[in-house]
Amino acid sequence: MLIAGALLVFPKLALGLSGFETGVSVMPLIDGGRTDRGHSPRSGGAPMGRVANTRKLLMTAAVIMSAMLILSSIVTTLLIDPADYEEGGKASGRAIAFLAHRYLGRGFGTVYDVSTVLILSLAGASAMAGLLHLIPRYLPRFGMAPRWAALSRPLVLVLFVINIVITLIFGAAVEAQSGAYATGVLVLILSAAFAATIALWREGHRGLASYTGILCLVFAYTLADNCRERPDGLIIGTVFTVLLILACAVSRSIRSVEFRIRHGYFADVDSWRLGPEIRGKKVHLVPIPSSSAGVRRKKVAEIARHYNVRGPFLFLHVNLLDNRSEFSAPLEVRLRKEGEDYVGEVFGAVAIANTIAYVSEAIDPISIFINLSRRDLMAQALRYLLFGEGETGLMVYTILLRYWDRTPEEDVRPLIFLMSD
Amino acid sequence: MDDHAGREVATHPWWKVIWLTGVDYFSSLGYQPGIALLAAGAVAPIATVALVIVTLCGAVPVYVQVARRSYAGQGSIAMLENLLEGWKGKGLVLLLLSFAATDFVITMTLSAADAAKHAIENPFLQSVLGPHQVIVTLALLTALAAVFLKGFTEAIAWRPPRRCPTSSSTSSSSDAGPWRSLRTRRCSPSGTPRSRGRATSQC
């Protein structure tokens, strides 16, 4: 009965699980000893010495903390009156300090107070430093400009404002914030357990995977119970999610008209030799959905029906990345000559229009012939943002315009023909 | 897989590094016993034992596994990011990032609030600070932000290096002009063999 009751209140204590994520994040600092002497980060494979020492670190920290938690819990339960530890009581939020002052005198109590204030300040500083390096690490992948996210001072100001708002909401009460804290800690620990389970399962360690799977359930129960009783953390987390999604969506749509190509390179020597031949008003750029001879012939006939075009064509077939949620990627270019015309295949594109614009700026063609899609523009805009497809012709024009606006040098501008079919 | 080829950082024996983890972990002793008491009353020690069991038999083994797979310090978020492709993975990361932010932000506000509590209840400081818990907390948070605005990040030697090369190079090159980058790349005509139409989900 007693134990069942204790297990029921356990979720409220879950914030005592904090610190493990930090334990892993400081891993690069841990010396691997003799085992890792020959280890190179490029060769792959885990530095086993460092992993083993991290295990020692995690275990030692957990044992020290466990001992302190149990001892402090016994001492505080036995020595503090219920009236004192209630919210607003003298011992609330400072149970050990309360005992130190009462039984060991003001001098020792003050020493304890000072050291607690110091270590709590360091905890705050480490949390701030952790966030300042977590955010720039992930947000650029969402199309958030690295220079925005990496500017640590504006980020500090944003976090400062958030801190102030949250402190005012909770009235700076220690106990009131514990639920939200536990939620954050539990989400991280649950995600760690989940990631470990999947990784172990894939590696064939079925036994261990089942064990961590059960742990997932334990943490999931704890999290659910916590969120039910104190939804503060869930609310704060949701607000952060919405803010982050908005920030990323805005940033990504603004930046979607950049070239979004880190760099381009030729795939082989032949392409590299052909490269200079097509630069500088030498060819007409014709993007096509497939580079087969039939499609090319049809396209030439279609263009010849409406325009009197001289000069070779460069047929460009853009192969998109499988994962187009990426913001940018390097581009691989293959060129070959077919009769008078050239055929270009590019691989690794995140969006069709940006790639065409990029190639156009790279070779300065005489003109570009692009088909219109006959579809709803709003839907096309969404398809463009999410999957890099969409109303290509108009987007190429938009991207090129932006680029011309932003670059100081004299622009060599191609004619752009938008063809309805 | 993650890009582990980061720049080298000075390493230290694990029993020194433990105190960095400790500031986050051990500092919760300031408020944890009180919260346990309030939640569990007289059975607080038993609930604490349950917590200790979950810590030793749950959290430690899980994070040992995470440590084995994310030894460059990316933690579980990076591990999960690699499990799901495309927008699903991105959405999950955003969600986890938000809750990690919740964790870190509350670490700051809770630590500041508890530090303020210790300060205003101290008999020597009581007369100076008065009962202004909120004001002292806000002052502490302001001091924290001020220190970081002055450039504490640069001063923290233990800050793990950025792993993902994209974070510094994503946009800078795309605006430098395609012409120049194609031309400079021309110098290595052989190119690097790359899996076509597919890139690693990372970066």
Amino acid at A397: Y
Which residues touch A18 (CB under 8 Å, ≥6 apart)?
A181, A185, B24, B25, B28, B103, B107
Interface check for A421 against chain B (CB to CB < 8 A): the answer is no
When pLDDT is averaged across residues B130-152 and rounded to a whole number, the result is: 86
Residue contact B38–A236, C-beta within 8 A:
no
DSSP string of A348-392, one letter each residue: EES-HHHHHHHHHHHH--SEEEEE---S-HHHHHHHHHHHS-S-H
**Nearest Cα residue in chain A from B37:** A77
Helix (H/G/I), strand (E/B), else coil: A203:
coil
Q: Give the end-to-end CA distance of chain A in Å, rounded to a whole number.
A: 78
C-alpha–C-alpha distance, residues A14 and A20, integer Å: 13
Q: What is the pLDDT of residue B2?
A: 37
CB A87 within 8 A of CB A175: yes
Asked if the model's pLDDT at residue B200 lies above 60, the reply is no
* The pLDDT value given to residue B164: 37
Phi and psi at A419, nearest 5°, equal -110, 125
Q: With 70 as the cut, is the pLDDT of residue A173 above it?
A: yes
- Across chain A, mean pLDDT equals 85
Q: Tell me: pLDDT of B123 over 80.
A: yes
Tokens representing A250 are 């805005």
Going by pLDDT thresholds of 50, 70 and 90, the confidence category of residue A6 is low
Encoded tokens for A153: 């001072």
Which pLDDT tens digit goes with each residue over A285-321?
999 888 888 888 888 888 888 888 887 899 999 988 8
A328-352 burial by CB neighbour count: b if 16+ within 10 A, else e? bbbbbbbbeeeeebbbbbbbbbbbb
Average pLDDT, integer, range A401-420: 83
Q: Name the pTM for this structure.
A: 0.76
Percent helix, strand and coil across chain A, each to the nearest 5? 65, 10, 25
* Mean pLDDT score, A17-34: 80
Most confident of A339-348, A370-379, B15-24, B80-89: A339-348
φ/ψ of A286, rounded to 5, equals -130, 100
* Mean pLDDT, residues A137-152: 68
pLDDT category of residue B9 using cuts at 50, 70 and 90: low
Q: Which residue has 């300031």 as its token pair?
A: B30
Out of A130-134, A213-217, A256-260, A389-393, give the one with best mean pLDDT.
A213-217
- A202 CB-near residues (< 8 Å, 6+ apart): none
Query: How many whole angstroms separate alpha carbon A353 and alpha carbon A360?
Result: 11
- What is the least distance, in Å, from the CA of B159 to any CA of chain A? 7
Cα(A5)–Cα(B31) distance, rounded to whole angstroms?
A: 22
Structure tokens at A155: 């980020």
C-alpha span between A408 and A260 (Å, rounded): 20
Inter-chain touch A146–B167, beta carbons under 8 Å: yes
Region A83-102: mean pLDDT is 83
Q: Is the pLDDT of residue A175 over 50?
A: yes
Out of A13, A32, A268, whose CB is closest to B36?
Answer: A13
Q: Is B19 within 8 Å of chain A by CB? A: no
| pLDDT value of position A41 | 62
pLDDT value at B186 more than 60: no
Interface touch B134/A168, C-beta < 8 Å: yes
pLDDT at B168 over 60: no
The CA-to-CA distance between both ends of chain B, in Å, stands at: 11
Q: Given this model, what pLDDT does residue A376 score? A: 85
Q: What are the two backbone dihedrals, phi and then psi, of residue A312, each rounded to the nearest 5 degrees? A: -70, 155
Task: Give contacts of B111 with chain A, Cβ < 8 Å.
Answer: 120-121, 123-124, 127
Higher pLDDT, A325 or B36: B36
Name the residue with tokens 């959290």: B59
Q: Which two tokens stand for residue A98?
A: 């309360």
Strand arrangement, sheet containing A329-338: A261-266, A329-338, A341-349, A313-320, A284-287, A367-371, A415-419
* Token representation of residue A391: 């109303």
Taking an 8 Å cut-off on Cβ atoms, the answer to whether A22 and B194 are in contact is no
Amino acid making up residue A293: A
Which chain B residues are within 8 Å of A129, Cβ to Cβ?
148, 152-153, 156, 159
Q: Which residues numbered 4-63 in A keep a CB inside 8 Å of some CB on B?
A: 5-7, 9-10, 12-32, 41-42, 44, 46-47, 50-51, 53-63
Looking at chain B from residue 115 to 154, which residues have their Cβ under 8 Å from any Cβ of chain A?
115-119, 121-125, 133-134, 136-138, 140-142, 144-145, 147-149, 152-153
Q: In angstroms, what separates the C-alpha of A230 from chain B's closest C-alpha?
A: 12
Contact A41 B23 (CB under 8 A): no
Checking if the pLDDT of A168 tops 90, the result is: yes
DSSP state of B118: H
Residues 330-369 of A with CB under 8 A from B: 330, 332-333, 347-348, 358-359, 361-362
Compute the nearest-CA separation of A341 from chain B (Å).
21
**C-beta of residue B97 within 8 angstroms of C-beta of residue B77:** yes
Rounded to whole angstroms, the Cα distance separating B122 from B140 reads: 16
